């Protein structure tokens, strides 16, 4: 069959463009990930129109002969030192319009943009063993990392067990928590703890590293708030004032039943004391008190991150799907 789609870059994303994008993503998600909630229209609009941290975004919309949306692609071009070689691709084609060349057109536009932006590494995520994986591998993407996705149901049984964990004493440490921007007296310590994420397993991804400071953690919180989401943080603070570990939860705008785990990290010098489990259990307690309509937390872990997988299984998280990270090595000129 001949290619009938037309691909155009979105310079200034309109409400109609965002609605078209949402239509394609919702259809793609329902087909490829049944039971997984797709982002709602408001989340899509915020993602497309609000700035991201340490990056800028390029977007494309593919339409059919009748002008209806059939595919979308977004490229997040990282700009921070340590990641300025990297771009991340999101690509969806409506299932009713697949195998007609639309995905290839969108991918070609994204790869060309990587060359223009002098990005050597293009990474993307696809459901394990799904059509996106096969599409990418046929076009030169190599498998670099497998992620286990887990869900915790916040039922009474889980709550009672995790309440005991949250209440356990950890001599030399105290819990701290905040919503949105970190308090000024903890900003430097939080940034130092954030840098502990640079040793997280990333498989064979050419992911680079990020240097965090107080200004960057404040900027991250501002980006989340600007798109209408809420960021919750619970941290373990040592008696000497250093932050030993922390966990973050993103509550999307509208407070859907399922929220997303963001970072969890324990600083190397403080590992082996159960702090990761402690802060995560305290976060569950906080969610149950402040957001009683939330019934699930979703997280993901690299399949070789045995320690964090063990922590999550101890909490009651259960695996329900897998995704894979892929990388294309872009030849730049």
Q: Are residues 163 and 289 in the same domain?
A: yes
| Residue 1 pLDDT class (50, 70, 90 cuts) | very low
My answer on whether 158 and 114 are in the same domain is no
139: in domain: no
Tell whether 190 and 70 lie within a shared domain.
Answer: no
Predicted TM-score of the model (pTM)? 0.91
Say if residue 211 is in the same domain as residue 313.
Answer: yes
Rounded mean pLDDT, 278-299: 96
Helices (H) and strands (E) in the chain, counts: 9, 12
Q: Tell me, yes or no, whether 61 and 161 share the same domain.
A: no
Whether 297 is in a domain gets the answer yes
CB atoms within 10 A of CB 188: 16
Which pLDDT score, from 0 to 100, does residue 51 have? 87
CA 333 to CA 331: how far, in whole Å? 7
> Does any domain span residue 131?
no
Same domain, 310 and 169: yes
Task: Tell whether 68 is covered by a domain.
Answer: yes
Q: What is the per-residue pLDDT across 53-90, written as a single tens digit (0 to 9) for each? A: 999 999 999 999 999 999 999 999 999 999 999 999 99
What integer pLDDT is reported at residue 196 of this predicted model?
Answer: 83
Residue 304 backbone dihedrals phi, psi, to 5 degrees: -100, 10
CA count, 13 A, side-chain hemisphere, 83? 20
Of 68, 99, 119, the residue at which a domain comes to its end is 119
Same domain, yes or no, for 167 and 297? Answer: yes
Q: Are residues 172 and 112 in the same domain?
A: no
CATH of residue 218's domain is: 3.40.630.30
* Number of structural domains found in the chain: 2
209: phi then psi, degrees, rounded to nearest 5? -145, 160
pLDDT tens string 187-226: 999 999 999 877 777 778 888 888 999 999 999 999 999 9
Where helices occur in 251-305 by DSSP H, the ranges are 275-290
d(CA 140, CA 143): 10
Residue 220 neighbours by CB under 8 Å, 6+ apart: 53, 231
Q: Which pLDDT value is given to residue 4?
A: 74
Q: Examine residue 134 and state whether it is found in any structural domain, yes or no.
A: no
Q: Is the residue at 267 inside a domain?
A: yes
Could you give the CA distance from residue 212 to residue 160 in angstroms, rounded to a whole number? 36
* Pick from 302, 124, 119, 298: nearest CA to 202: 302
Nearby residues of 119 by Cβ (< 8 Å), 6 or more positions away: 77, 78, 85, 86, 87, 330, 332
**Which pLDDT value is given to residue 210?**
87
> Does some domain include residue 135?
no
Residues 277 and 165 in one domain: yes
Cβ neighbours for 43, distance < 8 A, ≥ 6 positions apart: 227, 228, 252, 253
Extended strands (E) in the chain: 6-9, 55-63, 69-78, 86-93, 121-127, 142-153, 173-179, 230-238, 243-251, 258-266, 296-302, 318-329
Tokens of 233: 């943080």
- Based on the fold, state whether residues 20 and 90 are members of the same structural domain: yes
Note down the domain range covering 69: 6-119
Distance CA 223, CA 225 (A): 6
CA contacts within 13 A on the Cβ side of 259: 25
pLDDT-derived band at 248 (thresholds 50, 70, 90) equals very high
Residue 9: pLDDT above 80? Answer: yes
Question: In this structure, how many other beta carbons lie within 10 angstroms of the beta carbon of residue 333?
Answer: 5
Residue 332 lies in a domain: no
Q: Does residue 32 surpass a pLDDT of 60?
A: yes
Q: Give bridge partners of residue 112 from the DSSP assignment.
A: none
CA distances from 89 to 11, 216, 219, 331 (A): 17, 23, 23, 16
What does the pLDDT look like over 77-135, one tens digit per residue?
999 999 999 999 999 999 999 999 999 999 999 999 999 999 999 999 999 999 999 99
Q: How far apart are CA 264 and CA 317, in angstroms?
A: 15
Regarding whether 210 and 276 lie in a shared domain, the answer is yes
Same domain, 221 and 89: no
**Angle 322-45-251 from CA coordinates, rounded to 5°:** 55
């Amino acid at each position: 069959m001949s290619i009938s789609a037309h691909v155009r870059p979105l310079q200034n994303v309109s409400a109609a463009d965002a609605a078209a994008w949402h239509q394609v993503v919702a259809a793609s998600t329902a087909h490829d990930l049944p039971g997984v909630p797709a982002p709602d229209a408001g989340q899509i609009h915020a993602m497309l129109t609000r700035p991201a941290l340490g990056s800028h975004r390029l977007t494309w919309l593919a339409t059919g002969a009748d002008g209806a949306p059939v595919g979308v692609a977004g490229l997040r071009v990282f700009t921070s030192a340590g990641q300025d070689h990297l771009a991340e691709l999101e690509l969806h084609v409506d299932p009713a319009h697949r195998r007609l060349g639309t995905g290839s057109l969108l991918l070609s536009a994204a790869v060309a943009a990587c060359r223009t932006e002098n990005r050597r590494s293009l990474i993307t995520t696809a459901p394990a063993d799904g059509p996106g994986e096969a599409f990418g591998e046929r076009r030169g993407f190599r498998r670099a990392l497998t992620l286990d996705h887990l869900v915790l149901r916040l039922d009474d049984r889980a709550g009672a067990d995790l309440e005991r964990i949250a209440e356990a004493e950890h001599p030399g440490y105290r819990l701290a928590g905040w919503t949105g921007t970190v308090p000024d007296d903890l900003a430097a310590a939080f940034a130092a703890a954030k840098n502990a994420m640079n040793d997280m397993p990333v498989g064979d991804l050419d992911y680079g590293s990020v240097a965090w400071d107080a200004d960057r953690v404040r900027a991250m919180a501002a980006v989340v708030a600007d798109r209408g989401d809420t960021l919750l943080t619970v941290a373990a603070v040592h008696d000497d004032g250093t932050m030993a570990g922390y966990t973050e939860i993103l509550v999307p705008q509208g407070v859907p039943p399922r929220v997303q785990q963001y970072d969890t990290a324990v600083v190397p010098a403080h590992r082996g004391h159960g702090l990761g489990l402690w802060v995560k259990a305290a976060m569950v307690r906080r969610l149950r008190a402040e957001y009683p309509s939330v019934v699930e937390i979703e997280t993901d872990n690299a399949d070789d991150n045995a320690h964090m997988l063990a922590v999550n299984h101890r909490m009651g998280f259960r695996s329900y799907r897998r995704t894979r990270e892929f990388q294309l090595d872009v030849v730049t000129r």
